[in-house]
């Protein structure tokens, strides 16, 4: 590698002696004991600080399935029948007021107490079984209270029966809000309450009767009748469509 001249390790002019031949057998070799096995070493630890990966335990329930499902209940049959009867009574009592002249008594006088009784029955059934339905009980009591005032009033009974649908409808909406986590189609019940509450807006005809024309009075009257009719249909539909709320397993 360094460019030096290579030379033989002996004198080339000197005759080399042949190796001596020996008649002795080769010396016996002794096999040494096996070497001691190496000690097991601990695995090398990584010097990189990294969090160990976390894997879910397949034998443990996940958080989604371990959570309890929402509280549900089956809509009692008596509850549904009572609300359905309340809706049908609204339809039956308002139709004579629309089509038969002088037949306003079924709606103005008979309907408030007849509507209060089914509401109290429906609310009592729910409260006895599930501690719900307080607003329905209050709505029934309010309806009967207004019915008594309407019967006793002489000159102001029109104002009382027009004012009644407002608190009654608000209580029905409150009942729908209370039952929204337990029954299906509660939005139909809330719609029935909102529509029924709009009936009170027709009371302006008694406040401004001298300023309104005959056609305006007739139009307001038919709008009131439409609100009463649609609220009865919605309440009947709720009694037919409501079922037990299905558990949410997602």
List the chain pLDDT tens, one digit each, 250 residues: 777 777 666 666 666 666 666 677 777 776 665 555 656 666 666 666 666 667 666 655 544 444 444 446 778 899 999 999 999 999 999 998 888 877 778 888 889 889 999 999 999 999 998 899 999 999 999 999 999 998 888 777 788 888 899 999 999 999 999 999 889 899 999 999 999 999 998 888 777 777 778 888 888 888 999 999 999 999 999 999 987 655 554 4
In a domain? residue 219:
yes
pLDDT of 15: 62
In a domain? residue 64:
no
In a domain? residue 52:
no
pLDDT of 67: 45
Count structural domains, the chain: 1
Question: 183: helix, coil or strand?
Answer: strand
In a domain? residue 122:
yes
CB neighbour burial string for 49-84, b if at least 16 within 10 angstroms, e if fewer: eeeeeeeeeeeeeeeeeeeeeeeeeebbeebbebbb
pLDDT of 4: 74
Residue 191 lies in domain? 77-241
Helices (H), 19-133: 63-66, 77-99, 105, 111-130
In a domain? residue 21:
no
In a domain? residue 51:
no
In a domain? residue 89:
yes
pLDDT of 250: 44
CB neighbour burial string for 190-226, b if at least 16 within 10 angstroms, e if fewer: bbbbbbbbbbbebbebeeeeeebeeeeeeebeeebbe
**Helix (H), strand (E) at residue 142:** helix 134-152
In a domain? residue 54:
no
pLDDT of 159: 82
């Amino acid at each position: 590698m360094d460019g030096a001249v290579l030379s033989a390790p002996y004198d080339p002019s000197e005759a080399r002696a042949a190796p001596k031949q020996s008649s002795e057998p080769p010396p016996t070799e002794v096999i040494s004991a096996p070497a001691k096995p190496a000690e097991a070493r601990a695995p090398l630890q990584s010097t990189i600080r990294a969090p160990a990966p976390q894997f879910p335990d397949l034998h443990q329930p996940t958080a989604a399935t371990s959570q309890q499902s929402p509280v549900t209940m089956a809509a009692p049959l008596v509850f549904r029948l009572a609300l359905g009867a309340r809706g049908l009574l609204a339809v039956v009592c308002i139709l004579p007021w629309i089509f038969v002249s002088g037949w306003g008594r079924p709606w103005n006088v008979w309907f408030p107490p007849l509507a209060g009784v089914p509401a109290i029955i429906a609310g009592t059934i729910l409260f006895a079984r599930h501690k719900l339905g307080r607003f329905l009980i209050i709505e029934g009591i309010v309806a009967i209270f207004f019915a008594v005032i309407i019967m006793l009033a002489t000159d102001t009974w029109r104002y009382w029966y027009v004012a009644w649908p407002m608190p009654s409808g608000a209580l029905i909406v409150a009942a729908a809000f209370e039952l929204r986590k337990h029954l299906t189609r509660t939005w139909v019940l809330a719609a029935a309450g909102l529509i029924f509450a709009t009936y009170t807006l027709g009371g302006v005809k008694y406040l401004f009767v001298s300023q309104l024309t005959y056609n305006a009075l007739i139009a307001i009257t038919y709008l009131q009748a439409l609100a009463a009719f649609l609220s009865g249909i919605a309440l009947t539909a709720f009694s037919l469509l409501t079922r037990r709320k299905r558990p949410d397993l997602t």
